[in-house]
């Protein structure tokens, strides 16, 4: 009999008693709503700073994953991919499926998306992709999983739920 082991994401939460700051896996985290994330995205679009938004997101997700992989000795690629998708879900950002990841690129499908759903709740559909946050997460995730420097990849959103596509799709490209 072959026993399959499924890697699960360990989540520890704590609250600092004096300030009430919340920590997830010792990282200070905070809850925000789709109004806030949508308006951050709109600000990035209006100022031409969507690359900056993706970069900040990439840095956030990359560093969070590298820390987790190191602390929990997660070395196998399969396990790292699974942890990344579980962490993305735990943050309420959506449901991510990594179709493939290679040295020079990859593909990620999003079937549930906080950013897209939030945008559509606030403003309806749009004529172009808006999920720069997840694009950044994809780029950061790829580098973290493959143990490459942050900034090794970028991601383009080639299908978008906000545009009316049935799911969102991200193409990961090696810089």
Partner 1 sequence: MAIDRKKIIEEMVAVKIIGDADGVIKGFNVCVNLMPTSFWSGFAERITQKANDDQIEAIEFLLVNAAHECGYHTGYGIITSDEWNRVVAPMIEKGPEDTLHGAFAIFTAWGWAQSEIIELEPGERMVVRAYDYYEADVLKYGAKPKPCAYMLQGVSAAFMDLAYGGPYDKTGKTGIRTFRCVQTKGIECGDDYGEFIVTRA
* Among residues 11, 77, 102, 158, the one that binds partner 1 under rule CB under 8 A: 11
Long-range CB contact pairs, 49-57, < 8 A, 24+: 50/132, 51/132, 53/132, 53/133, 53/136, 54/132, 54/133, 54/135, 54/136, 54/139, 54/154, 54/155, 55/136, 56/136, 57/132, 57/133, 57/134, 57/135, 57/136, 57/137, 57/140
DSSP three-state, residue 9:
coil
How far apart (Å, rounded) are the C-alpha atoms in residues 134 and 115?
8
Enumerate residues 79-118 that contact partner 1 by CB under 8 A.
88-96, 112, 114, 117-118
Rounded to whole angstroms, what are the CA distances from 12 to 25, 26, 161? 5, 8, 32
Nearer to partner 1, 85 or 152 (CB): 85
CB of 155 vs partner 1, minimal distance in Å:
16
Nearer to partner 1, 65 or 145 (CB): 65
Enumerate residues 53-82 that contact partner 1 by CB under 8 A.
53, 56-57, 59-60, 64
Nearer to partner 1, 66 or 105 (CB): 66
CB of 53 vs partner 1, minimal distance in Å:
6
Strand partners, 174: 153
* Among residues 8, 10, 35, 102, the one that binds partner 1 under rule CB under 8 A: 35
Q: Return residues touching partner 1 (CB under 8 A).
A: 11, 13, 15, 18-22, 24, 27-37, 39-40, 42-44, 46-47, 49, 52-53, 56-57, 59-60, 64, 88-96, 112, 114, 117-118, 121
């Amino acid at each position: 009999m072959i026993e399959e082991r499924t890697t699960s994401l360990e989540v520890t939460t704590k609250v600092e008693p004096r300030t009430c700051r919340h920590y997830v896996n010792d990282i200070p985290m905070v809850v925000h709503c789709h109004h806030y994330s949508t308006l951050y995205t709109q600000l990035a679009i209006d100022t031409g700073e969507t690359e900056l938004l993706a970069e900040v997101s990439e840095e956030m997700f990359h560093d969070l994953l590298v820390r987790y992989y190191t602390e929990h000795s997660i070395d196998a690629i399969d396990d790292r991919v699974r942890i990344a998708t579980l962490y993305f879900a735990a943050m309420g950002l959506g449901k991510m499926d990594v179709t493939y990841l290679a040295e020079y690129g990859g593909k990620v499908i999003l079937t549930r998306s906080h950013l897209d759903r939030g945008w559509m709740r606030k403003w309806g559909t749009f004529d172009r992709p808006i999920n720069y946050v997840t694009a950044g997460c994809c780029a950061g995730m790829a580098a973290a999983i493959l143990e490459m420097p942050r900034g090794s990849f970028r991601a383009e959103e080639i299908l978008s739920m906000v545009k009316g596509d049935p799911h969102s799709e991200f193409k990961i490209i090696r810089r």
